Amino acid sequence: MKGKVYLVGGGPGDPELLTLKATKILARANIVLHDALVSREVLALAAAGAELIDVGKRCGRKLLTQEEINALLVSYATSHEVVVRLKGGDPLLFGRAGEEITALREAGVEFEIVPGITAAFGAAAAAGFSLTDRRVASQVLFTTIQRDTDNRSIQWGGISSTTTLVLYMPGTDYARVMEQLRDAGWPDDMPCAIVSHASGKDQEIRSTVLAKLGDEATLPAPAIMVVGRVVAEVAEEISREFRIGPEIAGRTSHPMVI
Ligand code: SAH
């Protein structure tokens, strides 16, 4: 084996949210296999001569199967020194990294994992609430409803009134999400925030309550939902004046709608 594979977190969008390690590895990359989620600004940090391959999925259309991606990683490691598998957010959260790690291990390929800022943290920072605000929350659950292929309610064991729920891949049917949350026992007045393109140029934030979630206009993907009392703690304040930092001044900002 000639090379090493780096499973790198590309963060939520803003290239300044990449780790120093990720930036350095990208600058040495010979080849970068990236997801559709990875922003153009982050891809621009790859070495000038690096080959960029989009292995992501768009609108449900798979460009490559997971097995093909695994095989590509193993095969590129025989011909390239620095192979970067670049994923949005953190590589180990909802990123199919488990299957890639197994394939690399089985093929005896050297690899290293470089964590990134996951969408949940990008969204919380954008909206200005603490996911574990001790006044109202004691735990956080990172989950998704997309795995529910047979249309049953997902069993979220261990949720309570002090759980903050972060829903990755909420999809476009917010009414369905609302029903699933209600089925799981969440009350109608539970605050929900939807954050689209967290940390990116097109960032948008909406805040509502569970009973009205189905009435919200769908925000552009990628979007993430945060459900819990922590949203309410600051929602009113943010709705009055949604401040953006000077470094992103000039980008579009949208006030929260309560
Ligand atoms: N590994 C990624 C998650 C991949 S699953 C991470 O750690 O963030 C893809 C889902 O992540 C999207 O459907 C969306 O729910 C969320 N997501 C990724 N980037 C996002 C962003 N910039 N803003 C809002 N949600 C994002």
Which pLDDT score, from 0 to 100, does residue 138 have?
93
Q: Give the distance (Å) from ligand 1 centre to CA of residue 115.
A: 14
Q: Which two tokens stand for residue 120?
A: 């949940």
* Residue 185 structural domain: 119-249
Q: What is the pTM of this model?
A: 0.88
Which pLDDT score, from 0 to 100, does residue 221 have?
94
Domain assignment of residue 257, yes or no: no
| Residue partners of 75: CB distance under 8 A and separation at least 6 | none
Would you call 57 a catalytic residue per the annotation? Answer: yes
Would you call 87 a catalytic residue per the annotation? Answer: no
Active-site annotation holder among 14, 35, 90, 133: 35
One digit per residue, the tens of pLDDT, for the chain of length 258 reads 689 999 999 999 999 999 999 999 999 999 999 999 899 999 999 999 999 999 986 655 667 899 999 999 999 999 999 999 999 999 999 999 999 999 999 999 999 999 999 999 999 999 999 999 999 999 999 998 765 555 555 667 778 889 999 999 999 999 999 998 998 889 999 999 999 999 999 999 999 999 999 999 999 999 999 999 999 866 555 544 444 443 433 333 344 433
The verdict on 216 and 245 lying in the same domain is yes
Determine the number of helices (DSSP H) and then strands (DSSP E) in the chain.
7, 12
CB atoms inside a 10 Å sphere around CB 68 = 12
The verdict on 110 and 37 lying in the same domain is yes
Task: List ligand 1's pocket residues with C-beta within 6 A.
Answer: 12-13, 37, 87-90, 93-95, 118-119, 122-123, 168-169, 195-200, 222-224
Index of the ligand 1 atom closest to the CA of residue 116? 7
Index of the ligand 1 atom closest to the CA of residue 170? 15
The total domain count for the chain is 2
Domain assignment of residue 133, yes or no: yes
From 86, 114, 142, give the residue that closes a domain: 114
Which pLDDT score, from 0 to 100, does residue 57 have?
65
Spatial distance between the Cα atoms of 111 and 136, rounded to a whole number of angstroms:
40
Spatial distance between the Cα atoms of 211 and 190, rounded to a whole number of angstroms:
8
CATH number, domain with residue 193: 3.30.950.10
Which pLDDT score, from 0 to 100, does residue 250 have?
38
The verdict on 76 and 159 lying in the same domain is no
Active-site annotation holder among 4, 21, 57, 212: 57
The verdict on 32 and 124 lying in the same domain is no
Which pLDDT score, from 0 to 100, does residue 151 have?
56
From 114, 135, 150, give the residue that closes a domain: 114
